[in-house]
Amino acid sequence: MRSSAEYAKTVGLRDQSPIVMSGPCPPDNRAWVPAPAVRLSVWLHAVLLTALAMAPTQWPWLLGALVFNHVLLGVFGMWPRSTLLGPNLSRLPESCRRQAVVALTFDDGPDPEITPRVLDLLEQHHAKASFFCIGTHAAAYPHLVKEIIRRGHSVENHSDNHALGFALYSVAALRRNVQRCQATLSEISGTRPRFFRAPLGLRSPLLDPVVAAEPLCYVSWTRRGYDRVSRSPEKVLHRLTRGLAAGDIVLLHDTGAWRTTCGTPVVLDVLPRLLEILTTAGLRAVSLPLALPDHHMR
């Protein structure tokens, strides 16, 4: 097996590339402002309704334009790092490059088998991370949520039930789902989550006002390893470290990760090697609140 230094050199690991904030975290007390694509969609609806009143016989063409608008919004929502439907933190700000930090995040937990072992690995490497927890999972394993906080990591909002149809919910349903998870995590951990990541990274055009009202900062990622669909630790590690730079937001999973041919969850094989590579490159793994200390709740 190659050393961490050799692997870092092979995949082009770097810590001096410029960091660009993609859809920066908005102020905690911001009033919701519709994204340009949403404003354009509202304007188009008004135009089409007016056109329908003036020329009702043209309804097939008008309906087609409306359907095309919704399909386009759906495509925007399926692009996890897009900022077209609202602010989206996919990479940390410039200051993080100078501090040589990488935000390490885990989705879909907590899990009674994997999460404790992930916490042990992080502690062994003096690393911190943010755990985007599902509300129902947190309610089932509250002791794990408390342990995440006790070890100096952060617990963030990943919806209440990780529904596959989350992006299709109404505003009211989105609000209930996000607020339920927020309440669960706040009560168990004693700390109110400050960041939100949508299930599967699929985003509804109706989600941004719900996130802004909490207030939460919407987060996607810079790099993901696809550890939920790949049995190869080498491939997962390569996806995560190819061109990895200070300021990146890295995504892994502490629930539902696939297992290697030996039966080990892929994340548990990848994580120690990833942390060693970061150390070799002079990078430090931190949680999102540690990376963004000025993003305070008000």
Identified catalytic residue from 108, 253, 254, 295: 253
Annotation says 111 is catalytic: no
Residue 294 annotated in active site: no
- Spatial contact of 100 and 283, defined as CB atoms under 8 Å apart: yes
Q: Considering only CA atoms, which of 202, 278, 264, 195 is closest in space to residue 227? A: 264
What is the three-state SS of the chain?
CCCHHHHHHHCCCCCCCCCCCCCCCCCCCCCCCCCHHHHHHHHHHHHHHHHHHHCHHHHHHHHHHHHHHHHHHHHHHCCCCCCCCCCCECECCHHHHHHCEEEEEEEEECCCCHHHHHHHHHHHCCCCCEEEECHHHHHHCHHHHHHHHHCCCEEEECCCCCCCCHHHCCHHHHHHHHHHHHHHHHHHHCCCCCEECCHHHCCCCCHHHHHHHCCCEEECCCEECCCCCCCCHHHHHHHHHCCCCCCEEEEEECCCCCECCCCCEHHHHHHHHHHHHHHHCCCEEECHHHHCCCCCCC
Considering 107, 111, 208, 248, which one is annotated as catalytic? Answer: 107
Catalytic residues: 107, 253
